[in-house]
Amino acid sequence: MTDQTMSGAPVNEKTRQPLRVPVLHMGIFAALLIFFLAAPFFLYPVFLMKVLCFALFACAFNLLLGYGGLLSFGHAAFFGGASYISAHAAKMWGFTPELAVLLGTGAAAVLGLVIGSLAIRRQGIYFAMVTLAFAQMVFFFSLQAPFTGGEDGIQAVPRNLLFGLFDIRHDRAFYFFVLAICFGGVLLIYRIIHSPFGQVLKAIRENEQRSISLGYQVNRYKLAVFVISATLAGTAGATKALVFQLASLTDVHWTMSGEVVLMALLGGIHTIFGPIAGAALIVAMQNYFAGFGAWVTVLQGAIFVIAVLLFREGIVGVIGKWLKKPL
Amino acid sequence: MSDTDVILSAKGMTKQFAGFMAVKDVNLDVKRGSIHAMIGPNGAGKTTCFNLLTKFLQPTAGSISFNGKDITTMAASDIARLGMVRSFQISAVFPKLTVLENVRVALQRRRGGNFDFWRSQRVLNQFDEEAMRRVEEVGLTDFAGELAGELSYGRKRALEFATTLALEPELLLLDEPMAGMAQEDIERISALIKRISANRTILMVEHNLSVVADLSDKITVLARGQVLAEGDYETVSNDPRVIEAYIGVGHG
């Protein structure tokens, strides 16, 4: 009996752990929600909305990188592409905000299906290059196509009545609409990671050959996660267009693809909350360091170098290691 | 040999890489219920052969059939569904999943799709009991909650067996299961292979003739991409061509 308790104790501790981790995660989500509900009353709402949009974008991107093991270097195509569609729909067709976001999201899904089904045939750096190539095509299309407004972009995008009923033109009112979308999106990603699908995804990330030998048709799973990631990146972009009332080339430019990689890496790619932290940090830097002009990029680079040297697993990854809990 | 006796058969199997004949006209019949070993010195084409049989490579010529069904052009993931599962030389576990989750991933495939990203992974708890039994079978009960990446080499191998067995394959293909192992681990894994061979067929690739001596019913010796000799251990180990092939690599 004593023997059993001795060998049983550590096992018990381990079987108890998986019960507590979801509770911890839900607690963090609750704290984040409370923070973001209160934040617009003491922080600038547009800044917060930018953080939220990028947090969703980074989480969607990280679903692909951190959990699918696929490094896309063309996610700007979905983010920026959806922002054009949503802006155009709101401005030219008078779409209500929720429909404009939905249409942008749908367009990103279709684009994701097209690009994804071709890109997943290649692996590693070649996959990244193929996604980059497609994103460049989307960029030049956006530059040339008449409806995107070329260098000017689509400006003065209206915030129409929500559901055709509610006036949410004011920043603080619009903020809660954005919060609902982005928070919902991040929760959905959390669920995806912890679904049967997410479990197979992790297996493929960990060992693709072995997953094949167990009978999984890995390319189908890769395509599915690619499309989901692209779709949610589109949601973020479509929402951002309504926040800034602008869709521009910045959002389809390759530097945007790079920025989201940076956000995910900085926060920690094998974590749930890392991309949110990374997005908040980068957006805050861009905002508060704006006075430094072109030096922002240099500062960003310096912080990235420091992060890579000191926190190989990202900020949240390192915190998770200290706490001995997956975050 | 009648067709029902043969579970896996290769006829005239050939693989050519840019100007290099890795495997040349190999004929192989694996008898149902046997432990069949494929051995040969370095560069004999064992691994290529193995990858051809498991569909990780496509043969340049020849045909392969499993249970009388032609699988020559099938995808690697599809043969697993037919009941033919392979292992890997570098023990293939999912390092960041727990031991239990590793086995569960294999069981989970029975659900079919698994594209249901909106559902909680709690639906997988239905497989926990069976997964635990598989973990127990290979003596890893105490490590069930441990991350697979943190296991010792021998235990990773054991976990890989548990994962493979969870699919209840009719035919198990083991790629150098003893590679890089200490003597005591070799004995443990040998015993494990023997135990799991009940009601199953096993085809294993090995470098070393001696480790498969007690284990296998039939041994096929490969050299330079071709079958050099075939038979039981006695026959093969006394074959002068086999002795010659191994001289120089220190196994004379």
- Tell me what pLDDT residue A257 has: 94
CA dist B104 and B203 (Å) reads 24
What's the mean pLDDT when you consider all of chain B?
A: 86
What whole-number percentage of chain A has pLDDT above 70? 94
List the end-to-end C-alpha distance of chain A, in Å, as a whole number.
36
Residue A223 · residue A120 · CB < 8 Å: yes
- Tell me what pLDDT residue B3 has: 54
- pLDDT exceeds 80 at position A30: yes
B4 against B178, higher pLDDT = B178
Task: Using a CB–CB cutoff of 8 Å, tell me whether A176 touches chain B.
Answer: no
Q: Which residue bears the tokens 């979801």?
A: A22
- pLDDT exceeds 70 at position B1: no
Nearest to B102 by CA among B122, B77, B127: B127
CA dist A322 and A304 (Å) reads 21
Backbone angles phi, psi at B139, to 5 degrees: 75, 35
Task: Using a CB–CB cutoff of 8 Å, tell me whether A207 touches chain B.
Answer: yes
Residue A231 · residue A184 · CB < 8 Å: no
Per-residue pLDDT tens for B40-87?
888 888 889 999 999 999 999 999 999 989 999 999 989 988 989 998
pLDDT confidence bin for A85, thresholds 50/70/90: very high
- Tell me what pLDDT residue A16 has: 44
User: A206–B119: do the CB atoms touch at under 8 Å?
Assistant: no
Distance from CA of B140 to the nearest CA of A (A): 12
- Residues of A with CB below 8 A from B87's CB? 213
- pLDDT exceeds 70 at position A247: yes
Q: Flag whether B133 is in a domain.
A: no
Residue B111 · residue A196 · CB < 8 Å: yes
Cβ within 8 Å of A, B 61-90: 75-78, 80-81, 85-88
- Tell me what pLDDT residue B248 has: 52
CB pairs under 8 A between A and B: 113
Task: Using a CB–CB cutoff of 8 Å, tell me whether A12 touches chain B.
Answer: no
What's the mean pLDDT when you consider all of chain A?
A: 89
Q: Flag whether B152 is in a domain.
A: no
Q: Flag whether B147 is in a domain.
A: no
- Residues of B with CB below 8 A from A210's CB? 88, 92-94
CA dist B53 and A262 (Å) reads 43
- pLDDT exceeds 90 at position A271: yes
Per-residue pLDDT tens for B161-199?
889 989 889 999 988 888 777 777 788 888 888 888 888
Structure tokens at A68: 């699918």
Per-residue pLDDT tens for A156-183?
888 888 887 787 888 888 999 999 999 9
Distance from CA of A139 to the nearest CA of B (A): 31
- pLDDT exceeds 90 at position A309: no
Among A146-155, A182-191, A256-265, A276-285, which stretch is predicted with the lowest mean pLDDT?
A146-155
CA distances, A288 to each of A75, A292, B227, B238 (Å): 25, 9, 72, 80
- Tell me what pLDDT residue A20 has: 76
Q: Which residue bears the tokens 């494929």?
A: B38
Residue B223 · residue B247 · CB < 8 Å: no
Report angle CA B40, B45, B46 to the nearest 5 degrees.
60
CA dist B87 and B138 (Å) reads 15
pLDDT confidence bin for A17, thresholds 50/70/90: very low
Among A242-256, A265-279, A309-323, which stretch is predicted with the lowest mean pLDDT?
A309-323
- pLDDT exceeds 60 at position A278: yes
Find the domain containing B62 and state its range: 3-92+168-246
CA dist B87 and B85 (Å) reads 7
CA dist A128 and A108 (Å) reads 18
Cβ-based burial of A41 (10 A; exposed 0-12, middle 13-18, buried ≥19): exposed
Residue A111 · residue A80 · CB < 8 Å: no
Q: Is the ipTM of this complex over 0.95?
A: no
- Tell me what pLDDT residue B247 has: 66
Per-residue pLDDT tens for B106-147?
999 888 778 888 888 888 888 988 999 999 888 889 999 889
Distance from CA of A161 to the nearest CA of B (A): 30
Q: Flag whether B162 is in a domain.
A: no
What average pLDDT does this structure show over A263-280? 93
- pLDDT exceeds 90 at position B234: no
A233 against B236, higher pLDDT = A233
Per-residue pLDDT tens for B26-36?
999 999 989 99
Question: How many CB atoms are located within 10 Å of the residue B86 CB?
Answer: 28
Residue A186 · residue A25 · CB < 8 Å: no
Q: Flag whether B17 is in a domain.
A: yes
Task: Using a CB–CB cutoff of 8 Å, tell me whether B146 touches chain A.
Answer: yes
Q: Flag whether B111 is in a domain.
A: no
Residue A122 · residue A130 · CB < 8 Å: yes
Look at chain B and count its residues. 252
Handedness of CA B232, B235, B238, B241 (dihedral sign): negative
Q: Flag whether B72 is in a domain.
A: yes
Q: Which residue bears the tokens 């493979």?
A: B164
What average pLDDT does this structure show over A26-42? 93
Task: Give the residues across from B31 on adjacent strands.
Answer: B6
pLDDT confidence bin for A6, thresholds 50/70/90: very low
By DSSP bridging, strand B69-70 and strand B226-231 are: unpaired
What average pLDDT does this structure show over A109-116? 96
Number of structural domains, chain B?
Answer: 1
Give the chain A residue nearest B127 (alpha carbons): A196
Nearest to B107 by CA among B131, B135, B81, B78: B131
Question: How many CB atoms are located within 10 Å of the residue B146 CB?
Answer: 18
- pLDDT exceeds 70 at position B227: yes
- Tell me what pLDDT residue B161 has: 87
pLDDT confidence bin for A5, thresholds 50/70/90: very low
What average pLDDT does this structure show over A97-117? 96
Structure tokens at B180: 């890089």
- Residues of A with CB below 8 A from B105's CB? 199-200, 203, 211, 214
What average pLDDT does this structure show over B97-105? 93
Distance from CA of A170 to the nearest CA of B (A): 34
Structure tokens at A242: 């309504």
What average pLDDT does this structure show over B219-247? 85
pLDDT confidence bin for A137, thresholds 50/70/90: very high
Task: Using a CB–CB cutoff of 8 Å, tell me whether B139 touches chain A.
Answer: no
- pLDDT exceeds 70 at position A19: no
Report angle CA B162, B213, B220 to the nearest 5 degrees.
90
- Tell me what pLDDT residue A159 has: 86
Structure tokens at B132: 């635990």
Q: What is the 3-state secondary structure (H, E, C) of chain A?
A: CHHHHHHHHHHHHHHHHHHHHHHHHHHHHHHHHHHHHHHHHCCCHHHHHHHHHHHHHHHHHHHHHHHCCCCCCCCHHHHHHHHHHHHHHHHHCCCCHHHHHHHHHHHHHHHHHHHHHHHCCCCHHHHHHHHHHHHHHHHHHHHHCHHHCHHHCECCCCCCCECCCECCCCHHHHHHHHHHHHHHHHHHHHHHHCCHHHHHHHHHHHCHHHHHHCCCCHHHHHHHHHHHHHHHHHHHHHHHHHHHCCECHHHCCHHHHHHHHHHHHHHCCCCCCHHHHHHHHHHHHHHHCHHHCCHHHHHHHHHHHHHHHHCCCCHHHHHHHHHCCCC
